[in-house]
Every structure is written in structure tokens, then in C-alpha cells.
Amino acid sequence: MTEDPEPVYAAGPEGDIDRMSDEKGWIVDDLYGSASEFVRDICDSLPVSAVDGASRPQWLVESGMLEGSGEAMLLAGVPKLCPKWTKTVKEAVSGDYERWFGNGTYVVSSKQPTAEQLEEDEDLVTIPPGTYRASGRVEDCYWERTSEGGDIIDNNFATSARSITVTIASSDGQFTSERCAVWKPVK
């Protein structure tokens, strides 16, 4: 009976990540050949990830990159392969990050929807109350704040603007945005 040969790891951070992955039993998605390839792909993707109306930590969460062993691989690997994104990964894991949003209708809630709520309504997306700004070249932008019953509380249509600011109250039921660019929290 022959024994399986010991795995050989590359020298450097990639090898360290792959060794740790084997030791901890992390499961790597079939799309990648190793844990270090997964981490490298995320390092390469993060600089351009915030283009579709999501902050970078939000993108990590919403794209499913933290599912399964992804969270452990990114927490261990990002500081080694792309340390400038360490804070982003930690924010995503903690759930304490800015939520950006674009076109659509959103339920106003300071709580993220539960798994049961998402099972009932897979399109349910929540945003926390607060003050948000859409900036850039904004044309034909319509936004609307409504009560839980659907009555319009406030709305506006801007044919052309450089910046629009809206305060969404905790008592609002929903917020709708059409053609307004990306809404980001005002700090």
C-alpha cells in the first residue's frame, strides 16, 4: 500500500494560505484550484466591485463570497495578498458597513431581512433610515418616500442635477428610486 505524497506548497503567502486551507479543511469552490486562487480573484475584483450600486463590503456579502469557507479564507488570505482590503473584509464579516443602493423599491428598516423573510419574498431588499445623496450626472431622476400603506410622504422629479439629498425616516415604509444614480449615506 502506498501513501499519498505530502502536498507541496509554493513558497510565500500563496503557499501559506493553501497550507492553512488544507490544515483547517476549508472547502474551495470548484471554480478555483486553491484557496490562494480564490483570495487572489477577490483581491483583483475588489477595486472594481462597487460599480453596480453596492459598497465593496456589501458586494462581498451580496455576491456570496463569504459563504461556506469563503469568510475564513478571506480573513486569513486578504491581509497576506492584498492588505489594503483587510478593513473591507472585516466590515463585510461584521455586517457593519455602508449600504448603497440604486434603482428599485426598498423597504425601510434598520434590520436586515431574516432568512424566513427572504424565503417568503426573495426580492425583499431593505435599507436603513438615514440621509442619502445621489451624486454625479443625474438626469430624469424620480424618488419617492411612502408610508407602510403606500401613501406618498414626499417625492421629487429632477430633470437635471449634480447632487440630490434625501432623508429617509424610520417611520417611512418604502423608498423608490428611478434613474437617480447610486445613493450613498451622507456622513
Please state, in angstroms and rounded to a whole number, the distance separating the CA atoms of residues 177 and 144.
7
> Three-state SS string across the chain, please?
CCCCCCCCCCCCHHHHHHHHHHHHCCCCCCCCCCHHHHHHHHHHHHHHHHHCCCCHHHHHHHCCCCCCCHHHHHHHHHHHHCHHHHHHHHHHHHCCCCCCECCEEEEECCCCCCHHHHHHCCCCCEECCEEEEEEEEEEEEEEEEECCCCCEEEEEEEEEEEEEEEEECCCCCEEEEECCCCEEECC
Phi and psi, residue 139, nearest 5°: -130, 140
> Residue 148 corresponds to which cell in the numbers above?
407602510
pLDDT at 1 over 70: no
Grid-cell match 479543511, residue found: 25
HSE-CB of 52 using CA atoms within 13 angstroms: 9
Global pTM reads: 0.74
Average pLDDT, the chain: 89
Q: What does DSSP say about strands 104-108 and 126-127: parallel, antiparallel, or unpaired?
A: parallel
pLDDT at 143 over 90: yes
- Which residues, at least 6 apart from 96, have a Cβ–Cβ distance to it below 8 Å? none
For the chain, give every domain's residue range. Answer: 13-94, 104-185
Q: Residue 15's pLDDT is what?
A: 93
pLDDT at 53 over 70: yes
Q: What is the pLDDT of residues 99-139, one digit of tens each?
A: 888 898 999 987 766 667 666 766 667 888 999 999 988 89
Grid-cell match 475588489, residue found: 46
Confidence band of 18 (pLDDT split at 50, 70, 90): very high
